[in-house]
């Protein structure tokens, strides 16, 4: 799993120039003039767990191994008890095979699928609330000044969104530093890539924050909570169920982040109000 970065403050950041993530198409603007415009590619990626085909996701195609690992972990199909033997991506068949030492217990989850509100139509297997009961998130503090700094840095980072649009981003952060920035056509895919990176690197969630460009839906809140990350921030808005779940699990939920303005609808006890507009 190779990593590239265009900003030394990141461990991993978008590479808008990477081959195959976007392409130029020609069209006409409102005046009738011919123009060239970048558009995002999307392609299918089939995820296998051992010999079983789990799902086919539509994705931009970067970091397929991280996407597969994160998806399976966030669906509860990979647990701490499972020993990974390998993650193999075949570009020709557009498939990733995640192999474990033990036989995993996931057949029941395949029998029940919930279609989510993700823009690229996400799928959640099994009970959406499974794993949240009794969950305790870290009690780490979050400085308002750090949130402002993160928002500024992330919005200034070169990205596929800035070059082509039609894409979502999710950034794993610590303090005022953005660490890992993933993009995809569906916000759920971007989150799963971050989860896959954390799993592959053995990165802990304590003291971390997840920043996303997408809506704060139930799916996004559940994924963040299952990753053990205590705070979720977005420049977009909320859904009522997303807020209810965040309050239930004690997750700090901040949305409508614009410059030095935001709304916190859950977990405000983690905030350190060290800066006001």
pLDDT tens digits, 5-29: 444 489 999 999 999 999 999 999 9
Instruction: Write out pLDDT tens, residues 113-123.
Output: 544 445 544 55
Does residue 229 surpass a pLDDT of 80?
Answer: yes
Beta-carbon contacts of residue 158 (< 8 Å; ≥ 6 apart): 6, 7, 13, 14, 16
Instruction: Write out pLDDT tens, residues 33-79.
Output: 999 999 999 999 999 999 999 999 999 999 999 999 999 999 888 98
Q: Measure the CA–CA gap between 219 and 223, rounded to whole angstroms.
A: 6
Domains of the chain: 1-277 (3.40.140.10)
Q: What is the mean pLDDT of residues 182-196?
A: 96
User: So what's the pLDDT on residue 130?
Assistant: 72
Distances (CA, A) of 62 to 27, 32, 167, 173: 26, 35, 13, 20
Strand partners, 123: 115
Instruction: Write out pLDDT tens, residues 144-167.
Output: 999 999 999 999 999 999 999 889
Which backbone phi and psi does 152 adopt, to 5 degrees? -65, -45
Distances (CA, A) of 67 to 134, 218, 260: 27, 20, 32
Q: Given pLDDT bands bounded at 50, 70 and 90, which one contains residue 268?
A: very high
Is the overall model pTM greater than 0.85, yes or no?
A: yes
Q: Given pLDDT bands bounded at 50, 70 and 90, which one contains residue 110?
A: low
Q: Measure the CA–CA gap between 196 and 192, rounded to whole angstroms.
A: 6
* 3-class state of residue 204 by DSSP: coil
* Percent helix / strand / coil, the chain, rounded to 5: 25, 35, 40
Strand partners, 210: 172, 232
User: So what's the pLDDT on residue 196?
Assistant: 98
* CA dihedral angle for residue 78, residue 79, residue 84, residue 89, rounded to 10 degrees: 20
Distances (CA, A) of 168 to 78, 146, 159, 237: 25, 22, 10, 14
Q: Which two tokens stand for residue 122?
A: 């996400």
**Beta strand segments in the chain, E:** 22-28, 34-40, 43-49, 52-59, 84-90, 95-100, 113-115, 123-125, 142-143, 168-174, 177-184, 208-212, 231-234, 252-258, 261-266, 271-272
Strand partners, 48: 53, 97
Does residue 204 surpass a pLDDT of 50?
Answer: yes
Lowest-confidence range among 76-90, 95-109, 225-239?
95-109
Q: What is the mean pLDDT of residues 271-276?
A: 90
Q: Choose among 259, 226, 33, 239: nearest CA to 116.
A: 239
Q: Do 254 and 264 contact (CB within 8 A), yes or no?
A: yes
Beta-carbon contacts of residue 104 (< 8 Å; ≥ 6 apart): 49, 50, 77, 78, 79, 82
Lowest-confidence range among 80-89, 102-111, 214-223?
102-111
């Amino acid at each position: 799993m190779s990593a590239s970065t265009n900003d030394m403050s990141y461990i991993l950041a978008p590479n808008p120039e990477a081959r195959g993530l976007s392409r130029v198409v020609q069209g006409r603007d409102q005046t009738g003039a011919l123009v060239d415009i970048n558009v995002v590619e999307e392609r299918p990626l089939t995820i296998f767990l051992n010999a079983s085909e789990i799902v086919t996701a539509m994705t931009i195609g970067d970091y397929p191994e991280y996407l597969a690992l994160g998806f399976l972990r966030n669906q509860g199909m990979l647990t701490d008890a499972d020993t990974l033997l390998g993650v193999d991506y075949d570009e020709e068949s557009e498939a990733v095979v995640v192999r474990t030492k033990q036989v995993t217990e996931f057949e029941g989850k395949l029998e029940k699928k919930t279609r989510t509100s993700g823009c690229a139509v996400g799928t959640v297997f099994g009970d959406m609330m499974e794993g949240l009961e009794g969950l305790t998130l870290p009690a780490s503090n979050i400085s308002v000044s750090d949130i402002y700094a993160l928002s500024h840095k992330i919005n200034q980072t070169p990205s596929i969104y800035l070059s082509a649009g039609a894409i979502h981003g999710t950034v794993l952060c610590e303090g005022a530093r953005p660490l890992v920035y993933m993009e995809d056509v569906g916000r759920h895919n971007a989150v799963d890539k971050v989860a896959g990176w954390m799993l592959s690197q053995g990165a802990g969630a304590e003291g971390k924050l997840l920043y996303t460009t997408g809506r704060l839906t139930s799916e996004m809140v559940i994924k963040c909570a299952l990753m053990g990350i205590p705070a979720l921030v977005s420049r977009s808005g909320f859904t009522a169920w997303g807020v209810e779940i965040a309050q239930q699990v004690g997750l700090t939920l901040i949305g409508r982040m614009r410059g030095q303005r935001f709304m916190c609808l859950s977990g405000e006890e983690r905030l350190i109000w060290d800066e006001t507009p």
